[in-house]
Amino acid sequence: MALNHIWFLIVGFLFIGYFVLDGFDFGVGMSLPFLGKDDTDRRVLINTIGPVWDLNETWVIVAGASLFASFPEWYASLFSGFYLALLLILAALIARGVAFEYRGKGDTAKWRKTFDWMIVIGSALPALLWGVAFANIVQGVPLNAQHIYTGTLFTLLNPYGLLGGLTTLTVFFLHGLVFITLKTDGEIKDRARALAKKVGYVATVIAASFLLWTLFAHFSIIGAVLTVVAALALLAAQLAHFAKRDGQAFSLMVVTIITAVGALFAALYPNVLPSTTDAAYSLTIENASSSQYTLTVMTWVAAIMIPFVLAYQTWTYWVFRKRVSRKSIPAGSH
Whether the full predicted model's pTM is greater than 0.75, yes or no, is yes
DSSP codes joined into one string, 152-168? -HHHH-SHHHHHHHHHH
Find, among 202, 203, 196, the residue nearest to 181 by Cα: 196
Residue 267 in domain: yes
pLDDT tens, per residue, the chain with 334 residues: 699 999 999 999 999 999 999 999 999 999 999 999 999 999 999 999 999 999 999 999 999 999 999 999 999 999 999 999 999 999 999 999 999 999 988 889 999 999 999 999 999 999 999 999 999 999 999 999 999 999 998 999 999 999 999 999 999 999 999 999 999 999 999 999 999 999 999 999 999 999 999 999 999 999 999 999 999 999 999 999 999 999 999 999 999 999 999 999 999 999 999 999 999 999 999 999 999 999 999 999 999 999 998 999 999 999 999 999 988 887 655 5
d(CA 175, CA 219): 27
Flag whether 21 is in a domain. yes
Which residues, 6+ apart, have CB-to-CB distance to 31 below 8 Å? 45, 173, 176, 177, 180, 192, 195
Phi and psi angles of residue 149, each rounded to the nearest 5 degrees, phi first: -70, 130
The SS3 assignment for 270 reads: coil
pLDDT attached to residue 303: 93
| Within-domain flag for 131 | yes
Q: Is residue 85 part of a domain?
A: yes
Q: Which residues pair with 284 in a beta bridge?
A: 271
Domain that holds residue 105: 3-324
> What pLDDT was estimated at residue 329?
80
292 in a structural domain:
yes
pLDDT at 327: 86
List of residues 6+ apart from 268 with CB closer than 8 A: 137, 138, 218, 274
332 belongs to a structural domain: no
Q: How many domains does the chain have?
A: 1
Q: Specify if 330 maps to a domain.
A: no
**Cβ proximity of 98 and 122 under 8 Å:** no
